[in-house]
């Protein structure tokens, strides 16, 4: 029998309906017609990045928020980008700031991420935010792993005490994913493309997270029967980081590609912006 589908697309719609009500309540509470704003910064003209920013703006409007799109030219300097972030930090209506990754090579991306105020870091990209999250202190988690955790909780996937394997170590996905699973009392192994004996390690996973950024890098025959399979990748041709087809009949649950993790990333970003707005008005 096929595993349970962890349907991020369906759950994101449920979450958006809840967020609509929360945004409406914020507007009533403030007595102000101006809704909270998620500011997005796009440097350059990368088509994929532009599409992601547009999708996030559409999601804002669906829940009754506003999206402020800041578009900067390819030749923007680090100093110019920092000045834009400073202006958004100082804007009281902006409750969340998203700097779209990647930025052009001449920009110090880490310095710009870390310039975002902690209370507006709704994408969970700052060093301070990561450190606080890893220590179990209040912070907004990186949106994709935080979205995965929401999805697992929604479908009542048991995490505590289980062996989880995260394949991927990026600072905005693999590493925070491992810390979130550890915080939920899983036993966690972090792997990557250069890990020795990777198939044997993957085979131990009761919960497997594919976050390595290579199409179908994780092979179906590495995966144990009954595993929970979460694929955070998306590549041309509609495939993820995991060879998913042969696993569907053997796993206990899985995220489809597309329609699993992707919708949850955007929904979580919006949810964390709404939470930031609620905190600011308490």
Q: Measuring CA to CA, how many Å separate 179 from each of 110, 141, 161?
A: 20, 10, 14
For residue 77, report the phi and psi dihedrals to the nearest 5 degrees: -95, 165
Listed in sequence order, the residues at least 6 apart from 112 whose beta carbon sits closer than 8 Å to its beta carbon are 78, 81, 82, 85, 99, 103
CA separation for the pair 19, 5 (Å, rounded): 23
CA separation for the pair 160, 249 (Å, rounded): 24
The size of the chain, in residues, is: 282
Q: Does residue 46 carry a catalytic annotation?
A: no
Q: Does residue 123 carry a catalytic annotation?
A: yes
Is-contact 71 100, C-beta < 8 A?
A: no
For residue 225, report the phi and psi dihedrals to the nearest 5 degrees: -65, 140
CA separation for the pair 197, 188 (Å, rounded): 16
Q: List the catalytic residue out of 56, 175, 241, 272.
A: 56
Listed in sequence order, the residues at least 6 apart from 208 whose beta carbon sits closer than 8 Å to its beta carbon are 164, 165, 167, 202, 218, 223, 227, 228, 229, 230, 242
Q: List the catalytic residue out of 7, 120, 121, 123.
A: 123
Q: Does residue 100 carry a catalytic annotation?
A: yes
Q: List the catalytic residue out of 7, 84, 100, 175.
A: 100
Q: Which residues are catalytic?
A: 56, 100, 123
């Amino acid at each position: 029998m096929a595993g349970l589908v962890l349907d991020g697309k369906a759950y994101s719609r449920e979450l958006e309906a809840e967020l609509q009500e929360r945004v409406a309540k914020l507007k009533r509470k403030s007595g102000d017609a101006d809704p909270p704003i998620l500011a997005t910064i796009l440097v350059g003209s990368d088509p994929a990045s532009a599409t992601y920013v547009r999708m996030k703006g559409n999601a804002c409007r669906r829940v009754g928020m506003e999206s402020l799109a800041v578009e900067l030219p390819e030749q923007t300097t680090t100093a110019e980008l920092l000045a834009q972030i400073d202006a958004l930090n100082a804007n009281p209506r902006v409750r969340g700031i998203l700097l779209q990754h990647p930025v052009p090579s001449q920009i110090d991306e880490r310095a710009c991420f870390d310039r975002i105020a902690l209370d507006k870091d709704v994408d969970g990209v700052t060093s301070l935010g990561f450190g606080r999250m890893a220590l179990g202190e209040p912070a907004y988690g990186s949106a994709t792993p935080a979205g995965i955790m929401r999805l697992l909780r929604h479908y009542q996937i048991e995490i505590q005490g289980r062996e989880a394997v995260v394949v991927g170590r990026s600072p905005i996905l693999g590493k925070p994913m491992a810390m979130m699973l550890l915080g939920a009392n899983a036993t966690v192994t972090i792997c990557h493309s250069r890990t020795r004996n990777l198939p044997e390690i993957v085979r131990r996973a009761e919960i497997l997270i594919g976050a390595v950024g290579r199409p179908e890098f994780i092979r179906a025959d590495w995966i144990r029967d009954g595993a929970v399979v979460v694929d955070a990748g998306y590549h041309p041709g509609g495939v993820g980081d995991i060879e998913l087809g042969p696993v569907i009949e053997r796993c206990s649950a899985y995220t489809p590609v597309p329609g699993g993790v992707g919708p949850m990333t955007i929904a979580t970003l919006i949810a964390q912006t709404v939470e930031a707005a609620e905190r600011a008005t308490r």
